[in-house]
Structure 1
């Protein structure tokens, strides 16, 4: 695999590297830490080139963090402080995965070590380890090129995936981290996609889903100004694609931001009510609707407490979750998520499912999905829901159903729900769980 374009222009240097360190530390400190850090005024005060370089460096490091830490651990007799470890990580990501000259990767890292009392005494150690890796590479023993799948993700997560899906699947999932993800686009119509496929250098994944090999600002791509497509991972588009034609159907999208599924529902002909409890996220949905040329009924409200007695043909619940399935594009989720987060979010999902069930009309459907790879947030939730709600049954999906809507046949489980794993599609996809739950035509509650 070729290295992504992270070349360094002459005017980008130490400030960008210091910013990258801040991003990495924020990403490991807490969930959403990375997003908060890139929105910090100090980061935004950097030049566009510095921000771009720092962000690319930090994401690459997070993508390879497990492998890099393994290389560091093997070369240390005694572990130094965290600041030194961070500098070693920064040097190694440049040596292994960025278009930065080796001498620049080493010299700038040593210079960074000279900045503080915590790291200055270790600059000789840093220099020795980085140069030792370079010597190994020159001798054909590059420790950064051949990843060990078991070292790429946190051990507790790898063990969970191994138990849930088997070791081969867990290894395949982990190795997806080494691939730079392409950009998937959902289209208003299939003819729009066919018309723009060549200009977008795209591969059709589903009737209205295209994977583009283009890089850079999507606002410059063909069709953006026309408002005929929006960015949405192929897995994230699957729940709505499975529903087919929704003409004359009423739908409520309970956790709608950033709005991709809301746009899909509208494109399929539905009348849509969309909720989000965040004012800023709701504004983003509104902006996307305006660009695409659609209208929906928007409410800033909590999905569980939304005071509305209407019943809907379809209730879509893309529930808040640990988001461990999104690590291809957001590798920080692997390092900020803790086991306790999963249990806490599972309780939220339990309550949201019960609330969502009350909004489903007789004979209607509740579509439950999460971008988590953890069974507590997917399979376990649905089984428990069906025990609590005897008036619902699982709509079983087949490999033929999946293929018709662009989902890998391997994602269809014997129970009839979909478990999309990141390595099931060439080039990767987000991890997703999807279940369709139908309410009896004659029973309520």
Structure 2
């Protein structure tokens, strides 16, 4: 167990509390908060590791707080306790007693001596009485998610997804044709769909700081992303539109399957994220059009339109463990309305005889098969050619994709 500088430990804990406040208020996701809410961004990796552990073990930690505290702690203190108890029980980078000392001092710095005494009492008891950890789904998954998934999956499937939820996602990347990862990356080939090549590496620092990364020879991506670009029945095309493109990952997948002379338009509503799309294309020497627009603002006809829509992210919980804790009926209703509108707008851009790919990184039927069924009922000129749902596992994320074809006799929109 390594010794952590007390200032570093204080900064990490303080930033963790800030991020939890932002995520808890519904202001932003964990990833977004880590990008924008840190006072010490140079410690992002350490703070992020702590918070990823917390959201994977949130049910355990929250229950532990309730057991330890003689009264319900105020929200600010509860966030502090959640962060430090995660360190004490699940991380080895700091001695439990040291983590407790840092938390007490942080409480003191807020100017309330009684709150500091309360935190001290709770944490001294926690260090003495470490409870056992149960990995059963009912002790890990958020109640709302557990209730839904129990009605849909077998006990074996549920246990497998629970194991995946508790497992940090491996570092994976896609390599372009002709590029072989150097031996020092210790890359291991991993399965994926289509003609693509993916690798897992225990050396993310080497990969991210490599010339290959700067030149666009590799792209950081999960193998499940290949599903949308690899459905059976997809035909060669001349004109492609990606309506929710940023930061360009799926456009890049499609580019590897493009024939000479094929054009691609990458559209997205976020100007900020489209800057990353432009950079990803620039690295690879791709002269694709990048535009900032809402799907309904787009014009023209295309042989293939990809709608990789915003979703609940329940299929990527290994990388976004907070997504399961933000999931609920209200959010699901809101996101399915948005998906429906994007799919409608995307369909209007499909040329007669053209193809439409609808995809998500969700595993919820309302966002996937039910969304496709509703679309087909409202658009009789489209036919489903293929669809597939991947469940998340310890090897890869979850994903859904559906290939739709428009009748060649369709009237122009």
Segment of structure 1 superposing worse, 361-370 or 158-167: 158-167
Map 1:334-353 → 2, pairs under 5 A: 334-353=324-343
Structure 2 portions without partners, runs of 5+: none
Task: Go from structure 1 to structure 2 and tell me whether the alpha carbon gap of 1:156 and 1:25 turns closer, same or farther (over 3 Å shift).
Answer: same
User: What TM-score, normalized by structure 2, do the two folds share?
Assistant: 0.88
Task: Go from structure 1 to structure 2 and tell me whether the alpha carbon gap of 1:18 and 1:195 turns closer, same or farther (over 3 Å shift).
Answer: closer
Task: Go from structure 1 to structure 2 and tell me whether the alpha carbon gap of 1:56 and 1:304 turns closer, same or farther (over 3 Å shift).
Answer: same
| Distance in 2 (alpha carbons) for counterparts of 1:197 and 1:164 | 43
| Distance in 1 (alpha carbons) for counterparts of 2:28 and 2:359 | 21
| Distance in 1 (alpha carbons) for counterparts of 2:343 and 2:365 | 16
Task: Go from structure 1 to structure 2 and tell me whether the alpha carbon gap of 1:197 and 1:319 turns closer, same or farther (over 3 Å shift).
Answer: farther
**Shift of residue 122 of structure 1?**
4.4
**Shift of residue 27 of structure 1?**
1.6
Q: Does residue 1:330 correspond to 2:320, yes or no?
A: yes
Q: Does residue 1:110 correspond to 2:98, yes or no?
A: no
1:414 aligns with none
Q: Does residue 1:62 correspond to 2:55, yes or no?
A: yes
Pairs aligned (count): 405
1:214 aligns with 203
Task: Go from structure 1 to structure 2 and tell me whether the alpha carbon gap of 1:150 and 1:365 turns closer, same or farther (over 3 Å shift).
Answer: same
Q: Does residue 1:370 correspond to 2:360, yes or no?
A: yes
| Cα deviation code 1:53-98 (max 9, x no counterpart) | 3232223222221221122233345322222222221221111222
Map 1:5-404 → 2, pairs under 5 A: 8-9=4-5, 11-30=7-26, 32-40=28-36, 43-44=38-39, 46=40, 48=42, 50-98=43-91, 99-116=93-110, 120-137=113-130, 142-144=131-133, 146-189=134-177, 191-192=178-179, 194-196=180-182, 199-206=185-192, 207-216=196-205, 218-221=207-210, 223-242=212-231, 248-269=237-258, 270-306=262-298, 308=299, 310-396=300-386
Contact 2:224 2:396 in 1 (8 A): yes
Task: Go from structure 1 to structure 2 and tell me whether the alpha carbon gap of 1:314 and 1:391 turns closer, same or farther (over 3 Å shift).
Answer: same
Contact 1:372 1:433 in 2 (8 A): yes
User: What TM-score, normalized by structure 1, do the two folds share?
Assistant: 0.82
1:437 aligns with 404
Contact 2:265 2:289 in 1 (8 A): yes
Does the residue aligned with 2:110 lie in a helix, a strand or coil?
A: coil
**Shift of residue 39 of structure 1?**
4.0
RMSD: 2.7
Task: Go from structure 1 to structure 2 and tell me whether the alpha carbon gap of 1:197 and 1:264 turns closer, same or farther (over 3 Å shift).
Answer: farther
Does the residue aligned with 2:303 lie in a helix, a strand or coil?
A: strand
Q: Does residue 1:420 correspond to 2:390, yes or no?
A: yes
Does the residue aligned with 2:157 lie in a helix, a strand or coil?
A: helix
**Shift of residue 125 of structure 1?**
4.4
Does the residue aligned with 1:429 lie in a helix, a strand or coil?
A: coil
| Distance in 2 (alpha carbons) for counterparts of 1:25 and 1:322 | 21
Task: Go from structure 1 to structure 2 and tell me whether the alpha carbon gap of 1:385 and 1:315 turns closer, same or farther (over 3 Å shift).
Answer: same
**Shift of residue 21 of structure 1?**
0.6
Structure 1 portions without partners, runs of 5+: 397-416
Does the residue aligned with 1:210 lie in a helix, a strand or coil?
A: strand
**Shift of residue 362 of structure 1?**
2.6
Contact 1:72 1:88 in 2 (8 A): yes
Does the residue aligned with 1:419 lie in a helix, a strand or coil?
A: strand
| Distance in 2 (alpha carbons) for counterparts of 1:204 and 1:366 | 28
| Distance in 2 (alpha carbons) for counterparts of 1:60 and 1:389 | 44
| Distance in 1 (alpha carbons) for counterparts of 2:75 and 2:275 | 39
**Shift of residue 213 of structure 1?**
2.6
Segment of structure 1 superposing worse, 156-165 or 377-386: 156-165
**Shift of residue 222 of structure 1?**
6.2
| Distance in 2 (alpha carbons) for counterparts of 1:442 and 1:158 | 46
